[in-house]
Structure 1
Amino acid sequence: MAKFSVVVVFLLLSPFIDGLRFLVVGGTGRVGGSAGAYLCRLSRAEGYDPSDVTLILGGRSSSSYEASKARISSKLIALGLAVPSIEFLMVDLDTPIVPLTATIESCSPTILIHTAGPFQQRTDPNLLKSAIALNIPYVDVCDEPSLCSKSKALSSTVPAIVGAGIWPGTSAIMATEAVHHLRKFENSGDISFPCDDETIDLSFYTAGTGNAGATIVSATFLLLCQKALTFSNGKKAEIEPWIGSRSVDFGGDVQTKTVRLLDNPDVFTLQSSLSSPNISSRFATSPELWNLLFGAMKTSIPKFILEDKNLMQRLAVFSLPVIRFVDSFVGATNAMRVDVSSKSGNSVTFRVIHDDLEECVGLATASFAYEVLKGMDAGIYYPSDLGEEERKGILERVKKEAVLWDFETSYDK
């Protein structure tokens, strides 16, 4: 009934809405800019007239806005697509909630997409609170488990998805699909309870920075001083990051990489939604020198320095010329692998590869946003909370630009 009401209200108000207005907070950065480009690229396929789309890029720097606007415009022109109206909104997430809400209200967005990381060490989902107060649907790419949890605890009269994007986000949907597939087989179609000793292993690989910019680098630095959340036999275990190495075959041209434990909100959100007793997440990058450097930073740099968010951001920006130079050799490939298994020996493996992290995270984020606009029930969702229809809609969009999409089952009984 709630879903029907939301759709009816939207249809009644649609003649008075000035087109489709996407507000991307963090849209002046690489990830937000990519999301903005895909919001425009997908509009016609999603049933909207591109001429009615307005893209609002929220950020703190007008110069960064101009650069992002130019990148988005050039991408659309190269594809033979029309460039929509692109506007700038000055947004500072450290602004108190009342003026922040007024700022958001001033541009009358149809939906708010939050990509302004790093999310590490943020403790208040203030932008989500503003969206709820204004009855604006919401999506974010939050990769901080505690912040995801605080967001989930809020009540909402509009649909909102937290921890969306490629990983976390699409990766959690991949895991949910794999888990449900295994449970249907082992539990005679019942997906409501775990298989015996059910285990979810999440593995990720990104070549260099994946073209995603300084924020991704600084977020990785911050994660090196943050214990990795895992679950073992149903019990939470926080383990030192960058240990527990495993060799994982991602398939395609990526092949086998050595991945190590790193905190990932997918672990928390999947356990919350699925109650799987064993979950962990690991990551690798290239060249191998970066992996060794991360390990050296974790062991040799005092934690209080690694925890300094501003310092890590400055270090990331300072290092960017060298990082970009290395990126030019290693590429920007993003690979994800989900393995779900049980005590019986049955297993499901889901592997996905995209050529470019910046592109695929933008595509995934836009995919979540369009799914929200289709008329979801009001509430705060983790990606793994979504229903089968919503999951499949997101996966179908993300699949279109994948270079590998492999779903395998191994059933012994």
Structure 2
Amino acid sequence: MRTAGKVAIIGGSIWGNRGAAAMLETTIAQVRAVRGDVRIAVYTPYPQKDAALAQDDSLEFYDSRPQALVKYFVQALWVWLRRKLGGSPQPQGALGAMDGADALLDVGGITFADGRLIFLPYNILTLWPAMLMGTPVVKLSQAAGSFRNPLIRWAARIFLPRCAQTFARGEKTYAYLRELGLSETQVQPATDAAFLYAPSYCLSHENETALRQVCEKLDQLKAAGAPLVAISPSVLVMEKSGSSKIDYHRVLLGMMEGCGSPQAHFVVFPNASRERSKKSRNNDIIAIERLRAEAELSLPRPLLNRITWMMYDVNTRGIDEIVRRADVLVTSRFHAMVFGLRLCVPTLVIGWGHKYLEAMQRFHLEQYVFDYREARKDLSQVLTEMLTHSREIHEDMLTLVGDVQRSSEVQFAYLRGLLLEPPNHS
């Protein structure tokens, strides 16, 4: 039987992708605002690391790596079969936390989408064990689709209609889900959860002395009148660019070198970081290290002296501190972009796909979105123009951010209703 006051969250982590951390931390804060005594189980690919960073006894951390999800599925299938035959098994551990929850909240950024066939089994296994347990699944704001691939379309048609609610992060995702057959009662549009992030939501303490020193330096530079440009590179875009024979590092360095503001200071920070890990997944530190190495070989010394490199773990509060000080943000990471937009910092995107464009359009910034495959354009000129007009852009963004945040609030209003009146499942 279901017990009240328990929520499971999957699809995010504290360590690694800090965009995922922003979504996870915002969701935890919103859940706690509804029910302060709620027990929260977090399924993460880094359970030990996240538990050590959070140091919060009210949070339970469980493994969400593929091998663990396969184990949960097998266990859930066995429990489901026994219950169908009249038994009443009570699973323990990770599956027990899922079985006893009022809802499983999926905060994954993108699921069931063309071009991501390799992730399809993972997308399914994040949902299926909870569904077998009878736990309502709510997919908080995320991208999905398109569904042209027959396997992805088949799986999406089976699993997405079985979710209690899906929140579409953008007009195209909403259209894809409606075309798939989801009704207006099954899917609602909502902007990304991180638009409601607040620094107080941050669950970890990481490299705070180093961060404070960087912020003090940036404050001194701004007080002296130096424009500040924050740059968030992406190891994923770096790898994609290499496959397309595009020199991503040269694009970024050329932008800095050609910037028409000779006093501009650049701070390069990771939006995904796994300090001391050699693995590139969710680890922009690797991209920054390579960018710095190339900069030291090719950039003049006066420009090098105007670059601050952050090659260590930076949590969501730290990213917020850096971005809010910037006059312009340049990013290839979706959630670094979200931080810039939430803080009304003029933002330039070098990315791919419709997800960036949809978010930037809400702030009248679509002209500052560039596909990395077409980034040979003189971005230094674009950056110079943005610095020149940063105040006007900022003022315009201030008039728009409220509507965007109200859209994000829709998913948590739904969640409040679900938690205050949890469904009576057996």
Q: TM-score range by the shorter chain?
A: 0.3 to 0.5
State which structure, 1 or 2, has the greater radius of gyration over its C-alpha atoms. 2
- More strand per residue: 1
TM-score by length of 2: 0.36
